Amino acid sequence: MAELTASLAETVANTNAGPDGDLARDRDLGNNVYSNSSPCCQIYPGHAYQAARGHSYYRSYLVFDTSGIDTAPLLEVTGTMATSLQIYGSALGPPNIIAYKANLTSSTAALNNANYNDFDGWVSGSAFTGSIYGKFLTGSAMNQNPGAPSYQPITGTAALSDAMQNEDLVSLVILEYDHDAQYDADVEASHGPWVVGSGGWTYGASPPKIVYAAGTTQSKTLGVTPGNQKSILGTTRDKTAKVGGRV
């Protein structure tokens, strides 16, 4: 199995945002950024509600350099998950979290509050419709012991595998599902935090990572090998080729 370590891993949050979860979730900008320079918890996807403070939504952004991957990673190997996004930490409460395609274009630039909704398929007041890069990680499958954090795997999807093959940079966002990705006005009751707090850092011993099995059966475009990406129907590009009878 091969591994990719995140080159950027931060969380943009809208915290203590009042009693109306719909408005808090649809806010244009976040009001807090947990970054590599923060004292803790820069990977912190989830949702919490407290009567005195209102709703808090935490959206964690990751970026991976995939420029060295030429074939789509396999999704399964002998019936076992082969491609997975793994974040280090433990759960507070029983959250469901899911990963979507994000719109970040840099692997090093720090995020800011304006990145709060910076991902594919954001829909105000409704469910998100973007490309799903990782399937659910449910509370029952997570380590919920704060004293014993571990890597929590989210099953990679075909969209993630294809992006790793076809793009030089893959960015994604991890969301709490029930209250954020699929906003449900019926669950705006008071409850404890449903979040995944991470003890890992992008420069530390437990960084977010993608674990995958390299594929061998797919190529990027119409069977053309990655070395000929500028080819058309298998004809290599040659600066000395004739054009209109002229060299």
Beta bridge partners of 191: 49
Nearest to 213 by CA among 167, 154, 161, 174: 161
In whole angstroms, what is the distance from residue 188 CA to residue 49 CA?
Answer: 8
**DSSP secondary structure letters along 184-197:** -GGG-S-EEEEEEE
Longest dimension (CA), the chain: 77
Per-residue pLDDT tens, the chain, 247 aa: give them.
889 999 888 899 999 988 888 888 888 899 999 887 655 557 889 998 888 888 999 999 999 999 988 888 877 666 667 889 999 888 888 888 999 999 999 988 889 999 999 999 988 888 899 999 999 998 888 888 877 788 899 999 999 999 999 999 999 999 999 889 988 766 666 566 788 876 655 556 788 999 998 876 444 444 444 443 433 344 443 434 433 444 4
Contact 102, 120 (CB under 8 A): yes
Vertex 11 angle, CA 5 and 15, to 5°? 165
Q: What count of Cα atoms within 13 Å lies in the side-chain half-sphere of residue 118?
A: 22
Predicted local confidence at residue 225, as pLDDT: 41
For the whole model, what pTM was predicted? 0.82
In whole angstroms, what is the distance from residue 155 CA to residue 147 CA?
Answer: 24
In whole angstroms, what is the distance from residue 208 CA to residue 34 CA?
Answer: 15
Predicted local confidence at residue 80, as pLDDT: 66
Classify 174 as helix, strand or coil.
strand
Classify 98 as helix, strand or coil.
strand
Residue 208: other Cβ atoms inside 10 A: 28
Predicted local confidence at residue 73, as pLDDT: 82
Predicted local confidence at residue 200, as pLDDT: 57
Beta bridge partners of 97: 137, 176
- Domain range summary for the chain, segments of one domain joined by +: 2-220
CA distances from 99 to 20, 30, 75, 242 (A): 24, 19, 16, 48
Predicted local confidence at residue 105, as pLDDT: 93
Classify the phi-psi angles of 234: left when phi > 0, otherwise alpha if psi is within -120 to 50, otherwise beta: left
